[in-house]
Amino acid sequence: MWRKFPDWLIYLVIVIAIYTNANRVAEKIDAPPPPPQLGPMLPSETPRDERVVVNVKRPDSGVGTAFAIDGKGRWMTARHVVDSCDEVGIDLGGRKVLRVESFVSEDSDTAILTGNWKRKPLANDLYNRRQIGERGFFFGFPQGRPGEVVGSLLARNRMVVRGRYRSDEAILAWSEVGRTKGLFGSLGGLSGAPVMDKDGEVIGVVSAESPRRGRIYTVAPENLQELLKDRTATPESLSLNTYGLQADRLRRERRIAQVICIVN
C-alpha cells in the first residue's frame, strides 16, 4: 500500500537536489585548467632547425617594451626596437620620459639601455633546459598599451634577419594560447618584452611574431647568458589565475616599461 508523503517533504527533496547540482556545476566551472601537455626536453640547435626569415625595414618612430636587468639603471629590449633611432626613452608615466643610451648587440636581437633611473631587476633562468609544451608568459605593451600573452613552447628555430641589418641566431618558437581580453590582431609593441616561465623567471626576449601562424619568437636563453648576469632577484611563481595581476604590478613598478623610439 502506497504511503503519501507530505508536500513539504517533496519540495525539500527537490530543493536539495537543485542545490547539490548547482554546487557541482560551480565546482566544474571554478576548477583550475588542466596543466599543459608537456613533451620532451627542447633539443639542442642543429643545422636542420626551421628558418624564420625577417625583413627589418627602414626605421620609423615607434614603441616597444623593455625590462630592468640589474639595480644599476640598465634595461633590456629588442635590437630592432631601438636600432637606428635618433632618441630612445623609457616611459615613466605621468607624461614623463627618461632619456636613455642604447647599445645594440651584433649577435642577437637584443639591446641594452642605460639611464640614471634604477629599478629592481627581474629574476632569470637561462641555464636550465626548457621543455616542449611548457607555458611562457609575455608581459609588455602590445599595440602600445598594457597587455599579456600566454604561449606554449613549440620548438627551436633559427631567425635570419635581412634588410636594415643582418643577423642569424637561434630562437624559440611559441604557439599563442591566450591573450588579454579585447586584444586583437598584431602584437606589435610587445617586441623586447620578457617571456617568463611558470616560476616567474625570464627565459627569453620577444623578437618577432607570425600572426598568420599564431607564433611568437623569442631570443634563445643561451644568447642572453652574457647579458643577464644579475642573479640576485627573487622570482615569483606565475599561474593562469594570477599572471594578469602580476603583470600589472611589474608595469606599475616600471620593472617592465614602454620604450619610445624617435626617428627625426
For residue 173, tell me if it sits in a domain: yes
Cα–Cα–Cα angle for 132, 38, 78, nearest 5°?
35
Task: Say how far apart CA 198 and CA 150 lie, in whole Å.
Answer: 11
pTM: 0.85
For residue 40, tell me if it sits in a domain: no
For residue 41, tell me if it sits in a domain: no
Q: Give the model's pLDDT for residue 18.
A: 43
Cell triple for residue 226? 652574457
For residue 117, tell me if it sits in a domain: yes
- What is the 3-state composition of the chain as percent helix, strand, coil, each rounded to the nearest 5? 15, 40, 45
Q: What is the number of structural domains in the chain?
A: 1
For residue 59, tell me if it sits in a domain: yes
Task: Say how far apart CA 82 and CA 86 lie, in whole Å.
Answer: 9
Task: Say how far apart CA 190 and CA 205 lie, in whole Å.
Answer: 10
Q: Is residue 220 within 8 Å of residue 172, measured between CB atoms?
A: yes
Q: Give the model's pLDDT for residue 38.
A: 87
Cell triple for residue 27? 565546482
Q: Which domain holds residue 211?
A: 51-262
Task: Say how far apart CA 94 and CA 11 lie, in whole Å.
Answer: 61
Q: Give the model's pLDDT for residue 255.
A: 97
For residue 88, tell me if it sits in a domain: yes
Handedness of CA 33, 39, 45, 46 (dihedral sign): negative
CATH code of 147's domain = 2.40.10.120
For residue 6, tell me if it sits in a domain: no
For residue 149, tell me if it sits in a domain: yes
Segment (H or E) for 88: strand 87-93
Each residue's pLDDT, cut to its tens digit, for the chain (264 residues) gives 444 445 544 444 444 444 444 444 333 334 445 556 789 999 999 999 999 999 998 878 999 999 999 989 999 999 999 999 999 999 998 889 999 999 999 999 999 999 989 999 999 999 999 999 999 999 999 999 999 999 999 999 999 999 989 999 999 999 999 999 889 999 999 999 999 999 999 999 999 999 999 999 999 999 999 999 888 899 999 998 999 999 999 999 999 999 999 999
